[in-house]
Structure 1
């Protein structure tokens, strides 16, 4: 009976280790010149990274997950082409049910599958068009390939 218990414990432990190996484990590094700081919230199958300016304004939200967020992105709201983690993408204005709050013109959102069963949902909250371009360039340069994450970049 003890052998059976040990086998069950071993299987559960290996399953937990496999799940943690699949789940993202940290936010990607930000260039020091960006002036942004991450706030990280980790759950079992995703990590939420929020980048804020020195005055506390959130400008970037990045959710890394092992599950497809299945976020509907409407073609009429498609804006610029871009990239993330080596993958091509389109940026979209968020669908806010017809509402256009202040700053809506420079808000963007997208979802990218960047590896097998790895997804990134990215939202940008730029203050103006110049900051939007800077944030899009910043996200395009982020490295999320599994070997880079495992090696700590």
Structure 2
């Protein structure tokens, strides 16, 4: 009987762990983060918008995004920096500046997600190598159109 109870406890814990892992993956409007990135999401719902931060193992932010109907970021042609790809779609990254942090390389982009949803994605890093690594990680994001539409 003890063995059966122990087995049942492990099964229940396994199901709870799987449900928690799945909940983080599909939580809110954050896109899927492939395991190969080594990143995890920190998620917060903000009214009808989703705030997602991709965190490294040390807790630092690799990149962040705000998914909403009306992004606060309005790109300027003169700030164009690099071209890239996110979720198989071409994007343009724009230079940005952080007050009091002249050594930080900051970039922002917009990604249209479908009906009335746009992801404003930003990157803040200390070197060109980190920038390229973060671009690689962001390019592997997988937005689920059904999830984005249901977040309205």
Return the TM-score normalized by structure 1.
Answer: 0.68
Structure 1 residue runs of 5 or longer lacking an equivalent are 1-23
Q: Does 1:139 align with 2:138?
A: yes
Deviation at 1:146, TM superposition (A): 1.5
> 3-state DSSP class of the match of 2:83?
strand
Q: Please tell me whether the aligned partners of residues 39 and 51 of structure 1 are also in contact (alpha carbons under 8 angstroms).
A: yes
Equivalences, count = 123
Per-residue deviation at 1:100? 6.5
CA RMSD in angstroms, aligned pairs only: 2.4
Gaps of 5+ in 2: 1-26
* 2:116 equivalent to 1:111: no
TM-score, normalized by length of structure 2? 0.68
Q: Please give the alpha-carbon distance, in whole angstroms, between the structure 2 residues aligned to 1:131 and 1:51.
A: 14
Change (3 A) 1:50 1:89: same
Q: 1:77·1:95 contact (CA, 8 Å) conserved in 2?
A: no
Aligned-pair distance for 1:145? Answer: 3.6
Q: State the Cα deviation string for residues 19-50 of structure 1 (Å, max 9, x = none).
A: xxxxx933222222322221100133111111
Distance 1:46 1:149, change over 3 A: closer
